[in-house]
Structure 1
Amino acid sequence: MVKKPSGWLWLLSLQVPLLVLVFSGALETSTGSATSSISAGRPLAGDSTLVSHGGVFELGFFSPGKTGRFYAGIWYTKVSRRTPVWVANRAAPLRSAAASELSISGDGNLVLLDEAKQPVWSTNATSISSNSTVAELLNTGNLILRDGLDSGNVFWQSFDHPTDSWLPGGKLGMNKLTGEVQRLVSWKNSEDPAPGIFSLEIDPSASSSQYFILWNSSHEFWSSGAWNGRIFSNVPEMVPGYIYDFAFVSGEEETYFTYNTTLSSDVISRFVVDISGQIKQLTWIAGAGEWMQFWSQPRPQCDVYRLCGPFGICSEKTMPHCACAMGFEKASPVDWELGDLTSGCARRTPLKCGGEDRFYTMPNVRLPAEPAAATARSAEECESACLGNCSCTGYSYDGGCSLWYDALFDLQQLPDSIRGGGTLHLRLAVLEFPSPASGKKATVEIAVGTSAGAVAVVALALAMVWRWRQRKFRGLRLVEGSLVVFRYSELKRVTGNFSDKLGGGGFGSVYRGTMGDSTEVAVKKLEGLRQGEKEFRSEVCTIGTIQHVNLVRLRGFCSHRSRRLLVYDYMPGGSLDRALFRGQAAPPVGWKTRYQIILGTARGLAYLHERCRDCIIHCDIKPENILLDGEFIPKVADFGMAKLVGREFSRVLTTVRGTRGYLAPEWMSGEAITAKADVYSFGMMLFEIISGRRNSEEKGEEKYAFFPAWAAKKLLSGELLGLVDPRMEEEADMEDLTRVLRVAFWCAQEDETLRPSMGHIIQILERAIDVEFPPIPRYLQLLWENPDAVEFSSTGVSSVQFSDVLAGGFSSSSQSTSHASSAANLRSFPSGDPSR
């Protein structure tokens, strides 16, 4: 087949509001023709490419960024942001692609030759038994070297030699006979595919079925936990069949883990060891134009071992997460700019030793590991012990003396809301501290005494400035009916320099603040935002005009250069997830209150969907984004991912937004969405409000529990009280409980046209109309056809052959029931446009 590389740069001009770009760094490549295979006498050279028969993957030469270094690699043909998934010569770059080539050598191997025709990389297969080998790129992204006369005779494949990416169908494990290991190794930085410092591999001892993330191939800082037959014990969010199917195989010859996606073949998925030290599962949604991160580990970025290098300080509250300690500067600013922070920080001023150094106090930090103990009866003696050794770089005293020598690693500044850290005294050269007051004090006093008039004038001026600043600060008050445009410096002052963090998510962190008129607010700092200032202001002003009792009020915003902040009313009741899932840490919420929360949330969403000038799709409905005021009145919050849809359009194409477990199935197949995507999320949230627990969970030795399936069975049998949160002191109304459960299942339909609008839902909850039992979604219908697949109990699912049940669950190509029977069940709904 012949193909010219697509012109993908035009996509960068599209306006996609509030996107998170998971993979950064544009990659340069040249244009040329494509071939179907590489064989003897027919090399791949210059700007030619090899394209898989299905057109999913492409092999050729590329240059990351503007480095001038070239590599032979495989990337996605249909992904607009060039994303390599495999690199042949990652540690041996070429100086030019024009004269380089991939060709079949005389011994049948595939070799990469530089401009001088010298080999820089080879498949090095030793079992070649054919004189006519062919290199072929499969539609899975696997490059194979096979017998040209027998396609089933494969001598070598790239899936056995992954780089940083693990594609569906690939294996990650080890060959027990040869000792060969399939591991993932991160890029060095965003523009250098050379092997980096982080890797993922199976337990090399083969004594357990678990995987480790390693630093420098030596230090393990994250483990998947052992395979229990369904999932890895430390990854309870694995949901077999929901988006991916998993398989762990351990035999006499090899042990490996593999996965495949259950989504449409148009959906592209990859697993990567990122330069940040995290492993990430990413999915490219066709037509949406962006990568979506579904999962990452370790979740806290600061849990990555030595992420910030020597004398670097990690903080979950800032972006980037790493900064240099007092008295230090970036050891390699260029590496930091490219995402490689592991070089850490270097001293600005060398230590003098000999007792001339001083200590800088750092409170509430995670202390470095492996301190040396010293005998000291006081903090002063501990300090002296450190000063007495020129290699000592810090100490901590908490009833005992701990000393650290040479470079310090894994320092983390803990937020004020989290206690439990220690106080580190960091050794610095005396020149890093401000010089003390000198004998100039007396001269100043004389000057002041003889210049009383001048001082009075200065004092008067200062008083006027102070009064002006106080009046300005008091002027920072919220004005009803209008948005306030804040300066960044004003919001820093309002929040005490962002010191009181309330929480955070994928699009930013939220801080508590107090205005000049004592009004409390919540200030959200958006992170990873690529929207232009004009578009940001326009969309914020549209949302800011919305006023409804069940929507959190947007009071103002700040948009200056790269800074984007939103100011909301502060909600003293916290978020709904806190009330539902935090056990004894929060007082139980009664049934009547929960019902009012459900109804209020529905009213807020209906206003967004049906009453605004433009239909607003929230895109991330979940308990974390439902806030409660002092009277437990719900407020739909966090419009950071909201999408405006003009009334002249019924649906909109947008990147996948929201949270796993609440995403509507049409999003997963890359289809344009309607407000019915919010309806689906609302339905999944109803199950959690009723039960007081997450929809899917694993507790102790119990198997995976999927609450909606259990609730469907209970609803059919009429055993409803067992579904209700046992912490509730009051008894639930059976009629209302039945009503809410039926609404939940209508909302959770795979076919969006079968879901009611939020206006219909309000009528049902207000008891204006009745609702019939909904059709069973396909993934639940499979349960009824396989009654032995799941056993339900009061504690969840006790035995599972669950992956088979959910494997075909969210399939856009099949419906749960016929439209005719579904329409019959919808007869109690008012007529109208189903998309509204």
Structure 2
Amino acid sequence: MRPFYHEISLKSYPSAMLPSNTFFIIIVVIVITLAKEAQPVYAQRYDYPTANLSTRWVNNAALLQHSVSYSDGSAVRAILLRSPKTFYGPSFAAGFYCAAPCNAFLFAVFIVYTNSGGGITMTTTGIPQVVWSANRDQPVRENATLELTYNGNLVFRDAGGSLIWSSSSSGQSVAGMEITDMGNLVLFDQRNSTVWQSFDHPTDTLLPGQSLMAGMKLRANTSTTNLTENQVYMTVQPDGLFAYLESTPPQLYYSYSVHTNISRKDPTKVTFTNESLSIFVQSTQSSNISLPPAKSTQYMRLEFDGHLRLYEWSNTEAKWTVVSDVIKVFPDNCAFPTVCGKYGICTGGQCTCPLQSSSSLNYFKPVDERKANLGCAPLTPISCQQVQSHQLLTLTDVSYFDDSHIITNATNRDDCKQACLKNCSCNAVMFRYGQNDSDGTCFSVSEVFSLQSIQPETLHYNSSAYLKVQLSPSAPASTTNKTKTILGATISAILIILVLIVTVVTLYVQRKKNQEIDEEIDIELLPGMPVRFTYEKLRECTEDFSKKLGEGGFGSVFEGKIEEERVAVKRLESAKQGKKEFLAEVETIGSIEHINLVRLIGFCAEKSHRLLVYEYMPRGSLDRWIYYRHNNAPLDWRTRCRIIMDIAKGLCYLHEECRRKIAHLDIKPQNILLDEKFNAKLADFGLSKLIDRDQSKVVTVMRGTPGYLAPEWLTSQITEKVDIYSFGVVLMEIISGRKNIDISQPEESVQLINLLRVKAQTNQLTDIIDKHSDEMVSHHQDEVIEMMKLAMWCLQNDSSRRPSMSTVVKVLEGAMTVENCLDYSFVNANSVISAGDNPSIYSAPPSASILSGPR
């Protein structure tokens, strides 16, 4: 590059006219000027890697100087740029990015190519690569704003002013923002210490020097052009690196386990370094996955097809190239879980839809006839309301990537098939066997992704798939004929039954009368019972059931007065129990007594009447105070904390201090009652289950309320830990001041637990705090966030990772802290039931939604 020189003339200034020292000064100025301007331009750095507080950027090409468009239709608008030491090549930048056709923007960190040809250092060479983004699921429009506020919070808002994302670093002594040489977006304090960094919140990419800590996830994009989250994710667990497809439960497709005897005091982490992906346990490298040595800038991306690929910039080709497929466990692409979309079968790299073995019947169609890799869809969607029309489609010599969900009590083909037909959440089963198909392994599949054709002689085992399909109303002729035959036989049977019906009814009535006489005798013999009242006595004390307090799934509750004590009388209007079963339940509930359990005073079991008499709770149920249905003032934070502690102590007593464990199974705000001083007590044990101390799990039909059901309800094998999950939901409702399922909210916020997952992953938990309570944000924000973390611990999908209630009590008392490595992919059992509200004995309508009757 040619240097620049200045020519300065002194002819117009005769020496006699100059002061004595002026000539010397002029000479010095000339020398300095020449020294400065003789420097070539390439010696200057045109990067701008830092920003100060109170800086605001508007997403507008006319307002941002450093904007570049690319040949693929994408564009970037950089606000920070860290150019390499060579002044040209791949550089890290932070700013606004849009993919083609460039009508929606992300705030992102991206890699761009730069040179030293002028003030705008970015060039159109190569295509920008996004390595981190703040709002991948909420892109914004033109004129969105990003602001590094005076109090150190990085805030991203859409053009209309709505909050999209925040670093939640307000008040943490932030001094500025920087994009580092490693591509890490950092907020730093006065001592140059990191306050917040993008490396702690990975999206789909790892950069050299970046670590994936235990509990963190890489989550793939939906496609190369759609940057929203996919179902594919990779995470670090205490024993290694694992990749899943998100479903209920998650499906494992890759694992890299580390076997070590070291006591794990420090969490496991995986670090991307030059030539390896290293796994560290107890701060010591335990294993590593070898990678090609870096010749230029590299990054590693988890992609929508399940591959983890290593990319490197090629100076010769001026583009990014794949230098390694890091996941090498699969012999070919057919084994990857999404290679043929959902239900697609991969054979030699080709995708087809399933066909019944030895049959021409069709139950599936391609999603797109021209793109077989997009998968297949059932011709008739599977409905849990029409289980009688479910059938299994048999596919031989087919395998599936996830074999972790074993049905232990199904070791032969028929048992395996029946296990799936009996469980509506099962969409397929795989049966793997050797020479004898009566002794094999059955795997359950809740959501069917790509299957793979196999050759049994090369794998030394056989594998068949059975896909659940829904028969349409126009079923095949053979099915229709079979239905007609069954219908004819049924009609004949009904005619025979009609002949006997009069006799049966007569015998039943007589037997019922005798049974009632016998049961009346049994009442007096049951020990430890609460007070027994006559129906007439309770009708009188409630003034003929005139003062209704509320209604629930099994009846209504009325205010009454027995002598001088106010009581709440619950009249069970839809109870299906016999008298003996009802009395046995009353005996169980009446035998437990705790300050945080509503006391059962008495009962009535007279002919068809079933009534329970409880102590009266003047402030009613918790839901009326946290949902603001009565325009009440918000509860202060200390009252909320006390209510949470009372609930925890009540559950702790049921789970750990009774002779037999009692699982309540219907923990929700409507079943938590408050006395005059807002002390909380658990009520309504109509769905409770007794568990022996030596039982690890119990099998029971699904019961409870939609929105509060733990994911293990889908297996029908539960423990008392389902109450802890429900406690976590209630805890979030108390903190947020809203219902768990609220259809009045925007679509993305209808389900509180889904919203919690998103806010936890984006570190925006403050957005969920009850907007009615100023003090929770202004004075108790840290305490509220810690309480949210306790709720998230209780909401872990794996019930074994949830704390016991005694541990919860210790955390609330300050004797313990919340576990650090939490899984944020919360789910519940709503996938097989409809969401609804279920008011309890002190709640107003709408009507209840109870899934089963009492025990």
Report the TM-score range of the alignment, normalised by the length of the smaller protein: 0.3 to 0.5
Indicate the structure (1 or 2) with the bigger Cα radius of gyration. Answer: 2
User: TM-score, normalised to structure 2's length?
Assistant: 0.36
